Structure 1
Amino acid sequence: MYNFDFDICAIIISLIVMGCMFVIKDRDRDENKMFFWIVINGLICAVLDIIFSLAVNNKGCIPLPLLYTCNNLYLLIHNFVPYQYYIYANMISGAFYKTDKKKYNLLLIPYFVNFVLLITNRFHNLVFSFDSNYGYHREILMICIYGVTLFYLIFFLVHMIIYFKSIRLKMVIMLSLFIWSGIISVIVQYFYPHLLIELFVQAVVYMSVMISLDDEASHKVSEYDVYSRNTFKRDVKLLIDSDNKFSVIMLKLTNIEGYMSVLGIDQINESLFNIATWLKTVDRQARVYSLNVGVFAIVLTGQENNKAEYVSYVLNTRFREAWKVNDIDIEYNAIVYEVHVPDNLNRVEELLLLGYSETGNGSRVTFVSGKGLEELKRRLKIEQAVRRALISNNFKVYYQPIWDRAHNKIKSAEALLRLYDPEIGAINPEEFIRTAEKNGAIIGIGEFVFEDVCRFLSERDLKSLGIDYIEVNLSPVQCMQRDLTDKFTDIMRKYNIDVNMLNLEITETAAVENTEVMKRTISKLREIGFATSIDDFGTGFASMSSVFNIDFKLLKIDREILWRAEENEEAMIMLKNTIEMGKRMGRKIVQEGVETKAQKELMESLECDYCQGFYFSRPIPEDEFVEYVKKYNGIN
């Protein structure tokens, strides 16, 4: 007598697993679809096992031909599950998307051999048979059924070993549990044929695997019903780690903040939901992700570049038209990036960087691909170099002398940061400063420069050389720090530096764009004795009046104004008026970019207070700077 109580339990557990998969888990992911079918197959096998048990336990209640059919179906379905598990392992490791599907078709050949044997078994009874008393007998070719199962399990185990690092540990444990529990249950059932525990044990493993799967909420951005940024990072990393070639189409809406301030977040979210829904229809097999507000990504697996080109074309065409929400036309400016991984970019960080790029040219749609992505790769490399420099002290502070017209001596200098990275080489300051301001590293860099200048002042008696102060650039980001004055005070106290030996520079653009913030910051700095100057003066003439509302000691005129003045009469008038206006308002004037004797003489004729530029010296290391000042100022 066969005891099918375990099969009944297997059916109950399988139904629970299927219900959870349908309601809670992410049904759209390929691997979850495959797992769902594995559970269905287990459920069908349990039902067929009960029919088989009832027929054998109650001889004659089911006709023998129908019993043969039921057992054939059971073996066909049950023999197919190991193959499904192998495909499932390929999906969760990412290998499925890079493998030619013909390989998986070829792997079905052993199964189809069994398929033919089972379909024809009624005529030859070489796989199994029933006697007149409904006794079940395994025949000589039953070894083919077990052999094919073993064949797929070996493939499964080898794949798990090869892609061990690509599969999450908890999933490795769960899938390994399926193998070993299956082997143990088969052995038990072989010695105790009346205990039908194999399908029950499998159902318990299905439950364990299902629990280990992420819930749909952890994968999705609920507002748009697409995958999240974290899921994008995980999925793309998996594809990269398993050496896939695939494409990512990134969409960034550059003017979304303006619309959000006018229409409100609810209407914009409704609009973004409509966009996300539409993106999912562009390619039904692709996955759509929301990386930030107004930034979407479409991942196209496989090596078909023409598919990526088609999707890019569709996006370029659609976003030239308005999106309607509540009878309002929203004309988004969009950047569409077409990236082939790993040919264009090969790291998750590089792909995420696209969402922060400012590549857009102001037109309705900007398309970027191929060589246009090289700049972004460069930015990421510089970002990494900045991080390395902060850890490894690769930053060096150089000093550019500033000439005092009244005394005809070098009376001050500007501290300028230089970076030589072992991997990239020398990096232009404009590049790494811009990158550092965007990723927040500028705060650490600013503190490093300030402290290094204080150290230099404490170790060298620059006063005896005629140096009155050193200028230190202050980043706009630093000016947002509430504890900036406390940090600077602590550093000066550490090196016993007089605040009069330091002058802080702020760019004109920063001062204009953040006038109130700058006023408060500069007021606090001046309270503890700091002198301040405005750098690159003249780059924002329309806001000049707002600059003079801030109490700056020095105005440093941008070098471009001087260079244009030599060639253009109107620019010369502007230069003269700028110097005269600054002087009338009680500010000292510094002219940057003085590179020739003629430029120096022009500044002397205009009574400019200070000059800085290559005519005097390039930025040089501190030892060279000391020697240069001694020589220029005539100090032995």
Structure 2
Amino acid sequence: MVHNYWFEIAAFILELTIGYMLLFRHTITLPYNGIFRKLYACCFITTLSALIQALLEDYINYSGKNIADYIIILNVLSMIFFYTHILCCTFSAYYECSVLSIKVNETIIKLLLNVPSVIAIVTISLNPFLSTVFNIDPVLGYQRRAFLILLYLVAFYYLIFTLVIIIAYGQNIRRDKRIAFTLLPFIPFFGTVIQYFYRYSGVGNFFMALLVLVMYITIESPADYIDYVTGLQNQNALFTNFSVAMSRKKPISIITIAIERIDAWDKEFGTEHTNLLILELSSYLIHLSKNVSVYSLGRGKFALYISSENFWANMRMAELLAYSILERFESSFDITAANKVIPAKRICLYNCPEDIDNANLLQKAMLSEATAVLPKGKDYLTIEDIDTTTNDKERLIATSIQSLYENGTVYLSFLPEFNTSLEIYDSVKTELTMYIPEIGYVNSRSLISVAEKYGLIIGFYDYILESLFKMIRDNHLMAYGVKSVEIVMPVSFLLKKNKAVKLVNLASQYDIPPKLICFELAKNSMLKFDGVIVENMKAISSAGFRFILENYGNGYTNASALIDMPIYAVTIDKFLTGTAINSELAHKILSCTITYLKEFDLQVKAEHIETKASMEYALMLGCDYLQGYYFSKPLKIAELTEFLRKGGLQE
């Protein structure tokens, strides 16, 4: 019977395509890359032998000519086909186990994978003597034998084995890829079923080649693992290699290096100069050490991956590399002839415990690193220092924010501020606190940060402002002598046009003078300091509202903000006030700072006053307002009015 060899040709073309990508495209070198290449080689030989056999048989049938040793050639090609086809099943099962970092007893896994393959190969090897699998008749052509069913059973065994092992142990990969790997074995299975009923269709090889192609696209493709700007492996490769290393109980250390304020550099110097900076930094990291792999974690962010046989060596190398990078980039880094930046400010070191068997830990740690606080006295972070549940918490907070203003509930508390010149409480600071059963209390900074990240901030903040204005009116705060009510303002609010008009309308609606409301700018607002923010601030200030600059002297809250922005008052960073009590140098710096701030006619507020000593020290410095738990805890609106009615807790 004449073969339908179009499927064989299609399979051969697919294999040539994959071979081209493997040989001539820059692919990732992953720990299991060698297994994939063996799988590809077996599949290519299977397809080639089947195609040659089909073409040869069709040539004989069409031409009527005979070829010397024709039967022997067909037998050899068939033997090669069956050998490599069984190996394809074996290597595909090996490949999936390797990619998923299946952690089962290695000896047992090898036995479960190799024994069926050995049985099949022995059965095929006996075919020349006993015709166990097939027989090629000069007249009738290819004929199946009884033991061929054994090969089908072995292929079915590998399908079941892969499914069971993935369901039971495949926990080291994202859910979407885990589902994909569960479905992959069914591709050759369907082809085998069709081939069984239509023996001359040649569809079995096509489906096997299709499996290899899908595996290449899913796992080996450079698009998933290569950052094309730097040419470095990306975070997918990092997480995969991390998973494999941890499954083998290898100690791992990772250093992350980031260029700070990269968006600001784009605006100030242009993306071309910033890209040159990124490339120069990546080039420096690549040549830093032969024993360290460099990964790109995003634009301007890199990771150095250190893996050796003992934990102490990892720690020591990470420490040396961290200090080398810091020393290199302590000096100014040129991007233009006139402008300098320092690209490496934060070095984070992750020392992963030996009992970790899931790359999700590293992925969560890398995502949570930006919000992690560096412990005192340490130059790096460990995995224990990082709250890896940050993203889960953020999703809970975002859900609660949505229900917060949809259900019409909001929880505001107030901190009274002591006027040192009049010795009265005539200012209050607004705090927003939310209680979420799963994670406890969440402060206003975290709520606003999550609301900005999840695109909820405008509606959320509008509702908070309206709730605050309503409380001020309904509880007659001005009648108790309150002259200033502070509330934090998110930077995203200042990036929206026409907010000044809406604020004026809102204040008019609740009969509140704009000068009563003071918007507090977080230091993070300075990170996106640009003309749009300044213009909107000036418009809001012209309408009568006032602005307070938080934590002056820390981060980006510096003198340039005082010059360009309409600032009414500043708060002093609590670190400065706490340090200055016991440090003569810090005291001199703080005294001079407050003196020149007052020359700008700015009010100076000291926050987080918790002891009598810090209160007396702030008074001595000449601060205009004091606020902290020494005077009062956060109060509900009814408690605040009672506090103000009694004149506060005077010492």
Equivalent residue, structure 2, for 1:22: 19
Using the TM superposition, give the Cα deviation of residue 216 of structure 1 relative to its aligned residue in structure 2, in angstroms.
3.9
Asked if the contact 1:10/1:46 (under 8 Å) is kept, the reply is no
Is 1:40 paired with 2:44? yes
Equivalent residue, structure 2, for 1:529: 544
Match of 2:479, SS?
helix
Equivalent residue, structure 2, for 1:179: 189
TM-score normalized with structure 1 length: 0.72
Deviation digits for residues 307-342 of structure 1 (CA, Å, limit 9, x no counterpart): 888777666666776899xxx999985655444684
When structure 1 is superposed on structure 2, of 509-518 and 550-559 the one drifting more is 509-518
Match of 1:306, SS?
coil
Deviation digits for residues 229-256 of structure 1 (CA, Å, limit 9, x no counterpart): 5x4599699989x999888754433458
Equivalent residue, structure 1, for 2:213: 210
| Correspondences of 1:460-609 after superposition (within 5 Å) | 460-475=475-490, 478-489=493-504, 491-492=506-507, 495-506=510-521, 520-536=535-551, 547=562, 551-554=566-569, 556=571, 586=601, 590=605, 592=607
Asked if the contact 1:564/1:571 (under 8 Å) is kept, the reply is yes
Q: Give 2:86's match in structure 1, choosing from 67, 71, 79.
A: 79
Equivalent residue letter for 1:375: I
Kindly tell me: are residues 14 and 599 of structure 1, through their superposed partners in 2, closer, same or farther at Cα, counting changes over 3 Å? closer
Asked if the contact 1:533/1:555 (under 8 Å) is kept, the reply is yes
Specify every segment of 5 or more residues in structure 2 that has no aligned partner in the other structure, as ranges: 335-341
Using the TM superposition, give the Cα deviation of residue 103 of structure 1 relative to its aligned residue in structure 2, in angstroms.
1.1
When structure 1 is superposed on structure 2, of 210-219 and 524-533 the one drifting more is 210-219
Asked if the contact 1:254/1:360 (under 8 Å) is kept, the reply is no
Kindly tell me: are residues 316 and 37 of structure 1, through their superposed partners in 2, closer, same or farther at Cα, counting changes over 3 Å? farther
| Correspondences of 1:233-632 after superposition (within 5 Å) | 250-254=254-258, 264-265=273-274, 267-268=276-277, 270-271=279-280, 274=283, 282=291, 289-297=295-303, 306=309, 335-339=348-352, 342=356, 346-347=360-361, 350-353=364-367, 356=370, 368-371=381-384, 374-377=385-388, 380=391, 383-384=394-395, 386-393=397-404, 396-404=411-419, 409-426=424-441, 447=462, 449-475=464-490, 478-489=493-504, 491-492=506-507, 495-506=510-521, 520-536=535-551, 547=562, 551-554=566-569, 556=571, 586=601, 590=605, 592=607, 610-632=625-647
Using the TM superposition, give the Cα deviation of residue 470 of structure 1 relative to its aligned residue in structure 2, in angstroms.
1.4
Using the TM superposition, give the Cα deviation of residue 46 of structure 1 relative to its aligned residue in structure 2, in angstroms.
0.7
Deviation digits for residues 563-589 of structure 1 (CA, Å, limit 9, x no counterpart): 778778998888888777666765556
Q: Give 2:118's match in structure 1, choosing from 112, 115, 131.
A: 112
Specify every segment of 5 or more residues in structure 1 that has no aligned partner in the other structure, as ranges: 190-195
Deviation digits for residues 213-270 of structure 1 (CA, Å, limit 9, x no counterpart): 36644653223334445x4599699989x99988875443345889997994565455
Asked if the contact 2:156/2:189 (under 8 Å) is kept, the reply is no
* Counterparts of 1:126 and 1:596, CA distance in 2: 91
Match of 2:433, SS?
strand
Match of 1:350, SS?
helix
Asked if the contact 2:574/2:607 (under 8 Å) is kept, the reply is yes
Percent identity between matched residues is: 18
When structure 1 is superposed on structure 2, of 405-414 and 245-254 the one drifting more is 245-254
Using the TM superposition, give the Cα deviation of residue 91 of structure 1 relative to its aligned residue in structure 2, in angstroms.
5.5
Equivalent residue, structure 2, for 1:192: none
Deviation digits for residues 580-609 of structure 1 (CA, Å, limit 9, x no counterpart): 766676555655556677887898899876
When structure 1 is superposed on structure 2, of 129-138 and 179-188 the one drifting more is 129-138
Q: Give 1:221's match in structure 2, choosing from 224, 227, 230.
A: 227
Match of 1:225, SS?
coil
Structure of greater Rg: 1
Asked if the contact 1:247/1:299 (under 8 Å) is kept, the reply is no
Is 1:152 paired with 2:162? no
TM-score normalized with structure 2 length: 0.71
When structure 1 is superposed on structure 2, of 208-217 and 601-610 the one drifting more is 601-610
Equivalent residue letter for 2:19: F
Deviation digits for residues 178-203 of structure 1 (CA, Å, limit 9, x no counterpart): 322321221232xxxxxx22x34532
